[in-house]
Amino acid sequence: MEHRHLRDAFAGLPLFFAVAEERSFTKAAARLGLSQTAVSHGIRNLEARLGVRLLSRNSRSVVPTEAGERLLQQVAPQMAQIDAELRALDELRDTPTGSIRITASDHAVQTVLMGKLKRFLPQYPGIKVEISVDNALVDIAAGRFDAGVRLGESLAQDMIAVRIAPDLRFALVATKAYLARHPALEHPRDLSRHNCINIRLSTHGNLWAWEFERDGKPLSVRVDGQLTFNRATDCVEAAVAGLGLAYVPEEMADPWLRSGHLLRLLEDWCPTWPGLHLYYPSRRQPSGAMSLLIAALRLEPD
C-alpha cells in the first residue's frame, strides 16, 4: 500500500475504534470532541476506501460487522501501542538531554558552578555535565569542550561570553601566627621579605605575577616562597595552615576572613577584576542542553 493510501486509511481508524467501542456515534463524537456528522462522514469515507462495511447501523444500536470486529480485535491493540510510542517520543522530545563538557578553574567551580549546578541538575535529569578543573587558558575547540569558565579579561575575541558572576577582588591573606613571625608589610615591594605561596600557570609554565593597583597605577610583583601550587584552593589552605602569604580571590578566603583565622593585608592595593564568564565559540550553535545551562548560569542584573 502506498504511503498516501496508508495515511488515508489510518485517518479514519480512530473514528471507527471509538464508535465500535462506544456502540454509539453520539458517545464516540463526544469522546473525540467532534460533531456526530464529522464522525459519520469519516466512517463512511473509511468504509469506501476499504471497500467493506465496518459497522451495522439500526435505529437502536451500532455494532461492528464481521470485518469491523476483525479490524477491532487485530488492529486496535497495535494502534494503541503505536499511540503509546508516539506519546513516549513526545515526552523524549520535551525532556532535555545531552552531555556538556566544561573547562573551569577551581575558583569558578567552588564559588559559582557548584551552587548553580545544585539547582540545575535535579531539574534536568537527562543532562550530564563533565567539568575539567584547570587554571590554564584552555583551547576549548582543541580540547573538545563545549564551553569554558574564566575571568572576563582572559577571553579571546572570537568567543561569546556570558557573565556568570560579578566583578571580584583579590585578597592578600595570612594568619596572625605567620604575621607575628615576619616583618611588617606596608607596600607590595615588602613581599620580597616574605614567604609567598605561588601559583604556577599551566598555560605556559610561569609563576603568576601578583597584580596590584593603587590610584590607578598598576604594579606587578614577582614573589618567592617555599610553596607553589597550580590551584587557588590549595593556596588558601596553605595560608590557613600558616605556611605563608596567599593572594587569592576574596570570596575563596571569605569564610576564614569572617572567622578571623585569616587577616587581610594591603587591602587598598587590591584591585577589582572582571568577573567570571562562561565562554564558547561564536561559530558554534549551542545545543538545547547547553542553552538551558547558559540560562541557568547567566548573572541577572540587580
Could you read off the pLDDT of 192-251 as tens digits, one per residue? 999 999 998 776 678 889 999 999 999 999 999 999 998 899 999 999 999 999 999 999
Most confident of 13-17, 37-41, 215-219: 215-219
Q: Residue 56 — φ and ψ, nearest 5°?
A: -105, 120
Domains located in the chain, CATH noted: 3-94 (1.10.10.10), 98-164+276-296 (3.40.190.10), 168-273 (3.40.190.290)
Q: For position 288, what pLDDT does the model report?
A: 87
- Say yes or no to pLDDT of 7 above 60: no
Q: 214 versus 87: which is more confidently predicted?
A: 214
Give this prediction's pTM: 0.65
Confidence of residue 39 (pLDDT cuts 50, 70, 90): confident
Q: Which residues of 242-279 are buried (b: 16+ CB within 10 A; e: fewer)?
A: bbbbbbbbbbbbeebbeeebbeebbeebbeebbbbbbb
pLDDT category, 97, cuts 50, 70, 90? confident
The residue assigned the cell 545545543 is 287
Residue 24 has pLDDT above 90, yes or no: no
C-beta separation of 17 from 72 below 8 A: yes
Mean pLDDT of the chain, nearest integer = 88
Of residues 109 and 81, more confidence is placed in 109
- Give percent above pLDDT 90 in the chain: 50
Environment class of 216 (CB within 10 Å of its CB; exposed 0-12, middle 13-18, buried 19+):
exposed
Q: Which of 6-10, 131-135, 267-271 is predicted least confidently?
A: 6-10
pLDDT at 225: 96
User: 3-class SS at 98?
Assistant: strand
